[in-house]
Amino acid sequence: MIKTAFVTGATAGIGAATVRALVGAGWRCVATGRRQERLDALVAELGADKVHTACFDVRDTAALDAALASLPEAFRDIDLLVNNAGLAQGLSAAQNANLDDWQTMIDTNVTAMVVLTRKLLPQLIARNGAIIAIGSVAGSYLYPGGNVYAGSKAFVNHFTLALRADLHGTGVRVTSIEPGMVETEFTVVRTGSQQASDDLYRGVNPMTGDDIAATILWIATLPPHLNINRIELMPVNQDFAGFRVARND
């Protein structure tokens, strides 16, 4: 039986790599995102029989409902939800931060994720499916300028673990994947600068979207009696943040 995954944020980075990895392993994928040309490229690469696209902003609940209602028969039965869509905006200290940036992160990383998850839960329970969420080490190890992004990823991490508790006895598997440095478009989106992204990852040998996608595929294809509750990944060159001390002169 061919299984079907619903992957958010599939137009780049971890999301696009996840669609490729799952399709390569024989899955069908519903790939969502805001850039139709990127979604079309996935279909051209992988085949319309393997990938169905839905172009919408995850913050738009009406568009989400329309996308779910219009799924073709072959893509209607969802076995795996990959909550990947998310972003960071700004690196200012909280006292200088842009409130619009904060709201965008909350609406995207938190509200949109819980709405989609709630809408798919009955189907995932009926099919003994799985939920894999892309959290972040930022939800556990804080850094200056992380503020709402770190808070939103702490929510992703813990909401996903709370789902694990609520879904006890249903057969649904739930995993929180919490990556460190992954070189994707993330920093370009956050800073608006390719140079800032290049500077951040230079010499680090960071993880890639393919690395995280391989982890998702491994978890998704484990025997159904095994559950990976949470998994934290970092490149070897990244370590835990240290404490800082502000000294009075």
Q: For 176-214, how does the pLDDT look when each residue is reduced to its tens digit (9 = 90+)?
A: 999 999 988 888 888 888 998 898 889 999 999 999 999
Which structural domains are found in the chain, ordered by start? 4-229 (3.40.50.720)
pLDDT at 228 over 80: yes
Span 230-235, average pLDDT: 96
CA 17 to chain centroid: 11
Structure tokens at 157: 């991490």
- pLDDT for 240 equals 84
- pLDDT for 200 equals 87
Q: For 6-16, how does the pLDDT look when each residue is reduced to its tens digit (9 = 90+)?
A: 999 999 999 99
- pLDDT for 188 equals 85
Q: For 117-164, how does the pLDDT look when each residue is reduced to its tens digit (9 = 90+)?
A: 999 999 999 999 999 999 999 999 988 999 999 999 999 999 999 999
- pLDDT for 190 equals 83
Confidence of residue 104 (pLDDT cuts 50, 70, 90): very high
Q: For 17-69, how does the pLDDT look when each residue is reduced to its tens digit (9 = 90+)?
A: 999 999 999 999 999 999 999 999 999 999 999 999 999 999 999 999 999 99
pLDDT at 241 over 80: no
- pLDDT for 191 equals 83
Confidence of residue 225 (pLDDT cuts 50, 70, 90): very high
- pLDDT for 15 equals 97
- pLDDT for 100 equals 96
- pLDDT for 187 equals 84
Confidence of residue 245 (pLDDT cuts 50, 70, 90): confident
Span 208-235, average pLDDT: 97
The predicted model scores a pTM of 0.94
pLDDT at 88 over 80: yes
* Residues known to be catalytic: 149
* Identity of residue 193: S
